[in-house]
Amino acid sequence: MNDQSPRVPKKRTGDSRSSPSAADLAAQVLSESDEPMHYAALAREVLLRGARLIGKTPWMSLRTSLSRDERFERVGGQPRTGMYALASWPREKKLLHREQILSERRRAAAYRKSGSGVREALSMKSQQNGGSGGP
């Protein structure tokens, strides 16, 4: 028999001083941009605002959060566009043109392939926090 007590998940506090979640920051970025964005480009912006995305592929962590959050909706007409909008936006705002989808996908592919968008965001975040990059 195992005498260990079951794990209890940590409770989130409603403390207003706690930092906003990545999904909260993504909602803020989307509302400011006023147009749908690809999740990789959105991840870069969220990282620049101080969110903590865990894992080798932070953009995928954000994508998972967006897909589970009812405030966001995948848009673009195809299931694999990677574009997200706020669910509260009117339908006309969520409609995308083919050129816009392709442009966002190319930009996001560059982020994913090189990781430069994420590395750049993390580097900028480190500099803003007073970290020194060298001797």
**Burial (CB count <10 Å: 0-12, 13-18, 19+), residue 58:** buried
pLDDT band (50, 70, 90) for residue 120: low
Per residue in 6-60, pLDDT (tens digit) is 554 444 444 445 678 889 999 999 999 888 888 888 988 898 888 888 888 888 8
Lowest mean pLDDT among 45-59, 60-74, 102-116: 102-116
Average pLDDT in the chain: 75
First CA to last CA across the chain, in angstroms?
Answer: 56
